[in-house]
Structure formats: structure tokens, C-alpha cells
């Protein structure tokens, strides 16, 4: 007689999946705080070059999300989850002991591939063990982990860097990864797709990563090379040409890396344009404020991390409330004012923030306004993107939306590097003001794109659907991202 399998405990599985997701989301947050300390370890490497420790990660993550999700469905969600844990944890160790900036960037790419395996498989595991009536609650808990990571990330990262150094930020992933691995082996059941589908086009995946890399390279290096230099123009033109190649191939192959035909639906098209615009501004804000408080106000790294906490806390508290409101009145009615509120936070920074430290009267209210805007916008973007799609396209639509979030994050970092240029004490405030204007533009463009969404779009239908959680927004506060 075959031994009986131990009963599946859904809430234990949710805890394990959330632990791994927390590790990924936290890593994204703390690296912003550790960035200056990393630069100090490689003094001969420029600010622009070091920014690739952030950009290479987001590019690799964006390109790998869709194929990693398909691998999880095909080969087993638990198996891919374990593979992602191993890759992410080992890459974290390699990052911690990277002897050169180039190797650090390379190991960050490996870490991103591990994260790409972890994020979709962890959510898929949660979906596979919960009955349909309990799924919205489980996914809400899973998504709230991202908000928690965003809230504690800056302070946790600052404490690690101050107590040891930036390498501790990566080493902190090791015990979490090991515990999650052991718990997964003991408690998480295997699941996979019932009917095998084709993998996304691997050539298209490489073309997409190449196009993003070339475009980001042209933007990041523009100050070093000059905007009118042959190298800058060549990188940007090559990136656009590879992007056109990617689009043409995507429209021609039966199983593309990203299904661009989904953009034929107006709600999907405009919601994803809003996603791209908002994530550029959101990532730019977080990255720039850390640089500003440390470099201009001369805050210690722990103080800078604490200064960033109020905004993510606002998001963590208000995002679930606004999600429930959107289910009743539709996402458009929150996205349009949300983008304008976020733009107002950028305008507040433009008019109030100067060289003299004034956290209580400038950065605190600016962060609270930004947090309100983020809480209004980010939880609504993913559900708005898939609102008009048939149920069997929810998964593909969600994957595209999450990839676009990472594209926005990539260009958010690249634009901050380009706008700041080479800072001096005399012109630092003026250079950061360019970034605050970028936040204004990002918020306004988000609202403009959201205006094109259908007036009747509601989230209630998604909440009632048994497959709705597959498109729930896993990165409530980042982003980051995360």
C-alpha cells in the first residue's frame, strides 16, 4: 500500500511563498540605499557605470518573467520555485564577494533570473492550493508582503550597510533562502499545467533584452559620451532598430515573448501606457531621494532610510482600501486623480526642497503626497490592464503588464543618471530639480493615459472570477520594483 501524502496546508504554503517573495522585493528596495556604499568600494567606476547594478537587474527580470512563468507551468511550479531560490541565493553570495563592478553586474543578472523564476511560481503555487473562495484573501496577503518590504526595506538596508557594509545586503538573503528552500521541500506540493502549451519565443526574449540594454546604455552614458556623440546616437538608434525587429518577429511567430496583439484592445493599451509612465517616475523618485538625502543633505545612511519610510507606510495602509473602492466604482476614477496627486508631489519637491535639510517641512509632506498617489495608482494598474481581456488571456495580459513595470523601472534609473549628470555642491539642487520635474511629467502622463480607459471599467468582475488573482498586483509599493 502506497504511503499517504501529508495533507496540504494552504496557509503554510502561503507563508513559504510569501517569505520568498519578501526576499525578492526587499532586495530591490535595499539596493537603492546601499548604492552609494557600493560606489565607494569601486572608486574608479563612474556613477553611470555603477547604475547598471540596478538597470541590468530590471532588464533581465523584465525579459525573463514570461518564459519563467511558462517554465513553472510546464515543468512544475514547485520545481521552478526551488530552482529560483537556489539561483537567487547563490547569486546573492556571488554579489556579496564580487571583486569588480563588472562581475557584480553579471551576478546581478543571475540574481534577476532567479527572481524571475521565484515571483510567478510563488503566486502560481498559492493559486494551486487555495479553493476559489479563499483565493482573493490569499493573494491579498501575498501582495501585502511587497508593501511590507517597501516599508522596512530602506531602514533595514541602511542598518545592514552601517553595521557591516553593502555586502551584508546580499548576504542577508542567504538565511532566508535556505529556510525557504527547506520549508518548500517539506511542505509545498507539486503542480503543473494539465495541457502543455508552447514556450514563448526565445529569440524574441533575447531581442527584447538587447533592445532595452542598448536604449538604457544610450541614456545612461549620454553625459559621459555627450548627447550628440556618435556612440550615444548609435546606441539609441541600434536599440530602436532591435526593438522594431522584436516587434516584427513578435507579430509573426505563434508564441511570442510578449503578445503584442493584446495591445489592440484599448483598455489594455492605455493601462499599460499608464503603467510605463508611472513606473518611470516612481523608480526615479525612490532612487533620486536616497541620493539627494545622502549627497546633498549629508544624512547618514540610516537616517536616509528612515526618511523614506512614511511614503511606503501610507501605501501599505491605503492600497487595500483603494483596491476595494476600485472594485465598486472602477479603476479609472482612482487612476486619473492618482496620477495628478503624484504629479503634485513632484511639484511640491520642485518648489520646496533646497540645499538646507528640512525633512519635516519638505520631504515628509512630499513623501506623504507621493504615497497617496502611489496608493491610488499602483493597485489599480494590473486589474485595469486585463479588464477587457477574456479570462483565458488573463495570464498573458498580466505577464505583459508586469514586464512593462520592469521596463519603466529600467528607464527610471537611466533617466535619473542622465538628468543628474556630474554633480557639484553648487549645482546639485538644480540637477535634482530636473528629476522632480520628471515626477510631475510621469504623474500627468499617467492621468492622461488613464482618461482613455473605459468609463465603465470595474474590478468587481475580476474579484469574482476564480482566475482573478493571477492578475493581482504583486508589487503594491515598489516596486520597486518592485
Q: What is 32-88 written as a DSSP string?
A: HHHHHHHHHHSTTS-HHHHTHHHHHHHHHHHHHHHHHHHHHHHH-HHHHHHHHHHHH
For residue 181, pLDDT over 50 is answered with yes
DSSP3 helix / strand / coil % (the chain, rounded to 5): 80, 0, 20
State how far the Cα of 414 lies from the Cα of 401, in Å rounded to an integer: 20
264: which DSSP letter?
Answer: G
For residue 460, pLDDT over 60 is answered with no
Burial 37-65 (b: 16+ CB within 10 A, else e): bbbeebeebbbbbbbbbbbbbbbbbbbbb
Query: Residue range 394-400: average pLDDT?
Result: 68
Contact 435, 320 (CB under 8 A): no
Our CA dihedral for 59, 45, 103, 283, rounded to 10 degrees, sits at -30
Lowest mean pLDDT among 78-82, 90-94, 380-384, 436-440: 380-384
Task: Find the angle CA(479)-CA(86)-CA(21) to the nearest 5 degrees.
Answer: 30
pLDDT recorded at residue 146: 67
Our CA dihedral for 389, 390, 395, 398, rounded to 10 degrees, sits at 10
423: which DSSP letter?
Answer: -
Pick from 107, 104, 109: nearest CA to 39: 104
111: pLDDT confidence band, cut at 50, 70 and 90? Answer: very high
For residue 90, pLDDT over 90 is answered with yes
For residue 347, pLDDT over 60 is answered with yes
Contact 226, 170 (CB under 8 A): no
449: pLDDT confidence band, cut at 50, 70 and 90? Answer: very high
225: pLDDT confidence band, cut at 50, 70 and 90? Answer: confident
481: pLDDT confidence band, cut at 50, 70 and 90? Answer: very low
Contact 78, 125 (CB under 8 A): yes
pLDDT recorded at residue 459: 43
Pick from 33, 93, 19, 7: nearest CA to 299: 33
- Strand (E) or helix (H) holding 332: helix 332-352
Our CA dihedral for 78, 480, 386, 371, rounded to 10 degrees, sits at 130
pLDDT recorded at residue 135: 67
pLDDT recorded at residue 394: 61
For residue 353, pLDDT over 50 is answered with yes
Locate 222 and state its grid cell.
549620454
Alpha-carbon Rg for the chain, nearest whole angstrom, is 21
477: pLDDT confidence band, cut at 50, 70 and 90? Answer: very low
One of 1.20.120.1770, 3.30.200.20, 1.20.200.10, 1.20.1250.20 is the CATH number of 10-188+257-471, namely: 1.20.1250.20
Contact 191, 389 (CB under 8 A): no
pLDDT recorded at residue 88: 95
State how far the Cα of 216 lies from the Cα of 143, in Å rounded to an integer: 29
Distance of CA 88 to the CA centre of its chain: 16
pLDDT recorded at residue 28: 74
Half-sphere exposure of 248 (CA within 13 A, CB side): 6
Return the domain boundaries, the chain. Answer: 10-188+257-471, 202-256
* Average pLDDT value for the chain: 82
Higher pLDDT, 112 or 259: 112
State how far the Cα of 125 lies from the Cα of 61, in Å rounded to an integer: 20
Query: How large a percentage of the chain has pLDDT more than 70?
Result: 87
The pTM assigned to this predicted structure is: 0.79
Could you read off the pLDDT of 280-319 as tens digits, one per residue? 999 899 889 988 999 899 998 888 888 888 888 888 788 7
For residue 194, pLDDT over 70 is answered with no
Query: Residue range 114-128: average pLDDT?
Result: 84
2: pLDDT confidence band, cut at 50, 70 and 90? Answer: very low
Could you read off the pLDDT of 145-167 as tens digits, one per residue? 766 776 677 788 888 888 888 99
Locate 470 and state its grid cell.
493571477
Higher pLDDT, 461 or 436: 436
465: pLDDT confidence band, cut at 50, 70 and 90? Answer: very low
pLDDT recorded at residue 196: 64
Locate 399 and state its grid cell.
505577464
Q: How far is CA 50 from CA 143, 295, 338, 346, in A?
A: 30, 16, 33, 26
Contact 74, 163 (CB under 8 A): no
State how far the Cα of 145 lies from the Cα of 227, in Å rounded to an integer: 41
pLDDT recorded at residue 55: 84
Q: Give backbone dihedrals phi and psi of 474, rounded to 5 degrees, phi first.
A: -80, -15
Could you read off the pLDDT of 74-86 as tens digits, one per residue? 788 899 999 999 9
Q: How far is CA 63 from CA 208, 253, 400, in A?
A: 7, 17, 10
For residue 393, pLDDT over 70 is answered with no
For residue 139, pLDDT over 70 is answered with no
365: pLDDT confidence band, cut at 50, 70 and 90? Answer: very high
Distance between start and end Cα atoms, the chain: 48
One DSSP character per residue, 151-184 reads HHHHHHHHHHHHHS-THHHHHTHHHHHHHHHHHH
Amino acid at each position: 500500500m502506497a504511503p499517504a501524502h501529508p495533507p496540504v496546508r494552504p496557509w503554510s504554503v502561503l507563508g513559504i511563498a510569501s517569505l520568498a517573495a519578501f526576499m525578492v522585493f526587499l532586495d530591490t528596495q535595499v539596493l537603492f540605499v546601499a548604492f552609494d556604499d557600493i560606489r565607494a568600494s569601486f572608486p574608479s567606476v563612474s556613477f553611470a557605470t555603477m547604475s547598471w547594478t540596478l538597470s541590468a537587474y530590471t532588464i533581465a527580470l523584465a525579459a525573463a518573467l514570461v518564459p519563467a512563468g511558462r517554465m513553472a507551468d510546464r515543468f512544475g511550479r514547485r520545481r521552478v520555485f526551488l530552482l529560483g531560490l537556489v539561483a537567487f541565493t547563490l547569486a546573492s553570495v556571488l554579489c556579496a564577494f564580487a571583486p569588480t563592478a563588472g562581475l557584480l553586474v553579471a551576478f546581478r543578472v543571475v540574481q534577476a533570473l532567479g527572481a524571475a523564476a521565484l515571483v510567478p511560481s510563488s503566486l502560481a503555487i498559492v493559486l494551486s492550493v487555495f479553493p476559489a473562495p479563499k483565493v482573493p484573501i490569499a493573494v491579498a496577503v501575498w501582495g501585502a508582503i511587497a508593501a511590507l518590504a517597501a516599508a522596512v526595506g530602506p531602514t533595514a538596508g541602511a542598518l545592514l550597510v552601517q553595521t557591516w557594509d553593502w555586502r551584508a545586503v546580499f548576504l542577508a538573503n542567504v538565511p532566508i533562502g535556505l529556510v525557504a528552500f527547506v520549508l518548500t521541500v517539506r511542505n509545498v506540493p507539486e503542480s503543473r499545467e494539465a495541457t502543455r502549451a508552447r514556450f514563448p519565443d526565445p529569440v524574441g526574449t533575447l531581442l527584447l533584452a538587447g533592445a532595452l540594454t542598448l536604449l538604457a546604455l544610450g541614456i545612461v552614458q549620454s553625459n559621459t559620451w555627450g548627447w550628440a556623440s556618435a556612440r550615444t546616437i548609435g546606441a539609441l538608434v541600434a536599440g530602436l532598430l532591435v526593438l522594431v525587429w522584436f516587434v516584427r518577429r513578435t507579430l509573426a511567430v505563434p508564441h511570442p515573448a510578449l503578445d503584442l496583439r493584446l495591445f489592440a484592445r484599448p483598455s489594455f493599451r492605455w493601462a499599460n501606457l499608464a503603467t510605463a509612465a508611472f513606473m518611470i517616475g516612481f523608480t526615479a523618485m525612490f532612487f533620486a531621494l536616497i541620493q539627494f538625502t545622502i549627497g546633498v543633505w549629508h544624512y547618514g545612511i540610516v537616517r536616509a532610510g528612515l526618511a523614506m519610510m512614511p511614503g511606503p507606510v501610507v501605501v501599505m495602509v491605503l492600497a487595500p482600501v483603494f483596491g476595494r473602492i476600485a472594485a465598486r466604482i472602477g479603476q479609472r476614477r482612482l487612476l486619473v486623480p492618482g496620477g495628478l496627486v503624484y504629479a503634485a508631489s513632484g511639484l511640491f519637491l520642485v518648489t520646496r526642497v533646497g540645499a538646507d535639510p528640512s525633512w519635516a517641512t519638505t520631504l515628509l509632506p512630499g513623501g506623504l503626497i507621493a504615497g497617496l498617489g502611489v496608493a491610488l495608482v499602483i493597485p489599480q494598474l494590473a486589474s485595469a490592464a486585463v479588464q477587457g481581456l477574456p479570462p483565458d488571456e488573463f495570464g498573458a495580459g498580466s505577464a505583459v503588464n508586469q514586464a512593462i513595470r520592469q521596463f519603466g523601472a529600467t528607464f527610471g534609473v537611466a533617466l535619473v543618471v542622465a538628468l543628474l549628470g556630474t554633480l557639484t555642491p553648487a549645482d546639485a539642487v538644480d540637477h535634482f530639480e530636473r528629476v522632480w520635474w520628471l515626477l510631475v511629467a510621469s504623474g500627468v502622463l499617467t492621468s492622461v493615459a488613464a482618461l482613455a480607459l473605459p468609463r465603465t471599467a470595474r474590478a468587481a468582475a475580476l474579484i469574482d472570477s476564480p482566475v482573478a488573482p493571477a492578475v493581482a498586483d504583486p508589487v503594491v509599493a515598489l516596486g520597486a520594483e518592485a
